[in-house]
Amino acid sequence: MKVFEQEINIERLIEYAETEKLWIPEFQRPFVWDKNQIRLLIDSLFHNYTISSILLWEGVADLARRRVGGSIKEIKIPEDNTAETAIYLLDGQQRTTALLLSFTDKPVYQGSNIKKQTKIDIYWDTDYTGEDSELRWVLGDETVLDSENGDTPLLLGKLTQEEIFLKYKARFVKIKHVYNWSKVSASMLPIMGYDANLFVAYNNKVQEIQKNILYRRVFDIEQKGKLEQVLEVFERINTMNTRLSIFDIMVAKTYRKIGDNFFDLRTYLSVLNYEGNVNKDYFSNLSDNGLTLDGIKAKLEDGDMLAIITILLKKEYLQTAILKLRTDELIDKVKYVHDLFHQILSMMKQQLFIEETELFKYQPMLKFLAGFYGYFANIDLEKQIFLSRWFWNTLLKNRYPGAQNQRIARDLKYATENTLATALEKMMPDNTRTFGSIQAAKPETPEYFEAYKSASSQQIYRAMLLLLKSKNARDFYNGLVPAKNATIQYTLEEHHIFPDNSVIGKQIKQQYSNHLYNDIINNIANIALLTKETNNNRIKAKNPSEYIEAFETEYTRQGKLEEFYLILESQFITKDMVDKLKVDDFEGFIHLRTQELLSQINLLCDLKVAQ
């Protein structure tokens, strides 16, 4: 009998779970509900409150899975190329397991426990008249007041069923009797002392629970189609605020027993993130003499990492292509994928100045680089220059808006079918951002980059920060190159050159308050990369005329004046701009620095350099 052949009610849902007709994909977390959550579920059903829907999917039995209520060790490993199908419980695991636990004696395991099964007995206190309706459902291991014994605390779980009937008649109905009433009813009469009136009263109450709970229809959703077709459904399910992802699916899809070892995708990604050398023999990396994977930090989100792996192994870019990854090829290619991934990371850090903690902001670029490194066996100087030109054009001129995967695939086609110089020329029409108006701007008709510290999450602002890093920007005072991993006083920070809380800064904000450029104080042309120590202890709320003069004087005293100007040039601040800073000429300074930043953009994006 298939699940979808008949309408499902609560009783049938419990039956399917009990007889193992439903399966939990391995990506689902274990059963975690506490007893109070279970009690609330029972009470909600009794009162006909909505408990949301149950989402089921019948598909090929190629996902690692476990029975409803099974421990995390009860994983059924799929056979390769199986033609069998399975009914997967995609959403509703916690509710279904809670019902199985409440109404049956089927073994249920909670959390990560693999030895001790969870047990629960729930009784309906038909005499309860309090305001908290869920308290009418009494747990066998909790105390309730026993008014018949002078309000002495009562533990139903310590009494036999015969004692409960003898002492309380039909007051307490054990809900496990309800699910199996047709099987257990005949044995109840002797336990009741052959009291026919008691049997009738208890039977009536059992039928009330059956009507209000077990016979309630489950609003089940039958999701049809192949795994690729229901991928979006997997990703949109939200259970207890935990969004399922394609990575969760692939954990279940790739789980296999290989010889005496088990392949787990989570561990596999830890191996890929390992910064040292890895062995071609995958499982030797996990042996007693293998890699130390404790504390390994992921470079990318799991789903993004799978996309990179798919590009390296499959040369495909759509998300659904991830589902084509097979356990055997992941194992066979572990060193290949690991080494190329770390080559890409090294290139991004050393040549493109991208901190490891910010890699996630450059996912489209990572995809292209994965395709490029996966195609070309040797990244020589010509290819390095090409990648630099490609990167700056793509980032600064916004070449990957919208349909990114299609553009990435097209870029790689250009790069693999043409000379690299020709490939760049073919790519450039895709640029969606130009700086022509800034190029033509004059002091009397200024134009500025649409990059503002107040909108620091925008791509253009992040791109401009990388532009500052491209010259190894040095701190105004101590000449250090600030870095994210430095001590807190010397960590990389973005600070205003004209401080917004300085006298001149406040004047600027007031002057531009009703202007087209009302946020000009936060424009990238007024931002420098400084250390917290310099900003807090040397600059504070001073006007540029104060702190620049002080720094210049100190460097002159040490015979290092030219060094000071070199430091400022690393932040795209020329001597002409220094003259503007000395007299607090904001408009003059910001116009000149905007033009200087533009000249660097033109240099980095110049295609002729790649010829």
Beta strands in 200-286 (DSSP E): 220-223, 238-239, 242-243, 256-258, 261-263
pLDDT at position 113, please? 81
* pTM for the predicted model, two decimal places: 0.70
Measuring CA to CA, which residue among 134, 157, 120, 158 is closest to residue 33? 120
pLDDT under 50: residue ranges of the chain: 1, 238-243, 484-487, 609-611
- Asked if 172 and 100 touch (Cβ cutoff 8 Å), the reply is no
122's enclosing H/E stretch is: strand 122-125
Residue listed under structure tokens 């607090």? 584
- Asked if 298 and 359 touch (Cβ cutoff 8 Å), the reply is no
Q: Burial of 16 by CB count in 10 Å (0-12 exposed, 13-18 middle, 19+ buried)?
A: buried
Whole-angstrom Cα distance, residue 253 to residue 326?
A: 8
Measuring CA to CA, which residue among 428, 400, 449 is closest to residue 607? 428
Strands 242-243, 54-60: pairing is unpaired
pLDDT at position 609, please? 47
pLDDT at position 239, please? 44
Contacts of 323 (CB under 8 A, 6+ apart): 227, 228, 231, 246, 249, 250, 253
pLDDT in tens, 45-97: 998 887 777 888 888 888 889 999 998 888 888 877 777 888 888 888 999 99
Tell whether the torsion through CA atoms of 593, 599, 601 and 603 is positive or negative.
negative
∠ CA 17-19-21, nearest 5°, is 65
24's enclosing H/E stretch is: strand 23-25
